[in-house]
Structure formats: structure tokens, C-alpha cells
Amino acid sequence: MKLFIDSANIEEIKKANTLGVLDGVTTNPSLLSKEKQEPVAQLKKICKEVDGPVSAEVIALGSDEIVGEAKKLSKLSSNIVIKIPSTVEGLKATKKLSSLNIKTNLTLCFSASQALLVAKVGATYVSPFVGRLDDISFEGMDLIRDIKLIYERYEIKTQIIVASIRHPLHFLDAARIGADVATVPFAVIEKLMQHPLTDIGIKRFLEDWNNLKGK
């Protein structure tokens, strides 16, 4: 499973990149607004920092406007992927962008029927949001299972990005189900390698080693 970082913060992206496990970045308007920088300049910086795909979201809602904005954003860097809401207008725009070989990530996906339709218009990625479904007492991971089943049944090439990840178990479940990508906030990435028994084990090994030195 590929690991993307869900962040627009350069320091977080740099730190995650040094781990050697980072495959890409997803941003959204809320994440970019937290950075208090001009968003296009920030996106350019992010694209320079990583080799993998960087999702940049359109603000436009009408299909023609989405296509216009996507064309501009795609010129920022060769690794830009255009993030588009999973709406009727988003579908029309994605169909057009697919014909222009512009990569897309259909975001705000909350149902398997949305995921099937975005695949039919050639979306490169679909982003179902598990955390936001959990927040309203729906099992977010059930949606990932449904989409995976449907995509396998019809040999669909659209890649599933598990988004709105809130904790390490979301990441683990995404891998168990066989999602293509998990996009993970930095705070959760940091937790993925943590284990108290690893820390206790290191402490004990060092204590035993130091006791031996006295012999």
C-alpha cells in the first residue's frame, strides 16, 4: 500500500520524506489555509519537495470552471493531480480531463455508487473519507470494502485512496482490505512506528550491555 501524507505543511512533508516511505501528498483547501501562505506558491514548494503525486483541489463547482482551473493547476508541476469533489459537475469535468490525460483524484466520496461512477469517467484516484463517516456513526471502513469489491469485480483501474484517516487502526485496516493508498496526517504517521515494547526492549538491551562492560 502506498503512503501519502495528508498535509500542506512543508516541515511535516520534509520530515515524512526523510523516513524513506513517502509516496505522495494530498492537500485540500482547509489544509492550505492553515499554512497562511499564498496557496499556489505553497503547492509549487510541495511539488519540489516530493517526486510522487501531489493532489491540489479545485475551488470551482461548475464543470467548465473545474476544467479551466484544473488546466491551470496542472501546469504548476508534472506531479500535480487535480482533486475534484465527487459531484455531477465533477463527473463531467473528470470525463473531459481524462481525455486530456490530466490525472484526477475524486474527493469527498461517501458512497460506493459515487466511487463506481467516478471510475467510469476515468478518475485516476478516488478518495473515500473514513473518519468523517465514523464521526456520524457509519462504518467508514465498510465503504472501503465495498469499493474494493466492486473495483475488483469489474477490473477497474481507479486507485482507492483511504482518506480522512484519524488513527493507526485506520491505516492498518486500509492495508488489510487492500486499498492502493492511505493518505495519513503527520501526527498519525509518527505513531505508526511507535511501540512501547520496542522502547522497553531497547532499554533492557542497553542496560544488560552496560552491565557486561563492568565484567
Which residues contact ligand E4P (rule: CB under 6 A)?
A: 6, 26, 28, 107, 127, 129, 131-132, 163-164, 183
Neighbours of 69 (CB within 10 A): 18
Cβ 132 vs Cβ 99: under 8 Å: no
C-beta of 26 vs 86, nearer to ligand E4P: 26
CA 190 vs. chain centroid, Å, equals 16
**Least CB distance to ligand E4P at residue 181 (A):** 10
- In what helix (H) or strand (E) does residue 64 lie, and over which residues does it extend? helix 63-74
Catalytic residues: 83
Closest CB to ligand E4P among residues 83, 148: 83
C-alpha cell at 137: 456513526
C-beta separation of 25 from 48 below 8 A: no
Q: Looking at the DSSP assignment, which residues form a beta bridge with residue 128?
A: 109
Q: How far is the CB of 214 from ligand E4P (least distance, A)?
A: 52
Q: Which is nearer to ligand E4P, 144 or 208 (CB)?
A: 144
Neighbouring-strand partners of residue 55: 26, 81
Tell me if 112 sits within 8 A of 147, measured CB to CB.
yes
Which residue from 182, 160, 151, 156 is spatially nearest to 169, judged by alpha carbons? 182
Q: How far is the CB of 85 from ligand E4P (least distance, A)?
A: 11
CB of 210 to ligand E4P, least distance (A): 44
Centroid of chain to Cα 77: 18
Of 124 and 183, the one with the shorter C-beta distance to ligand E4P is 183
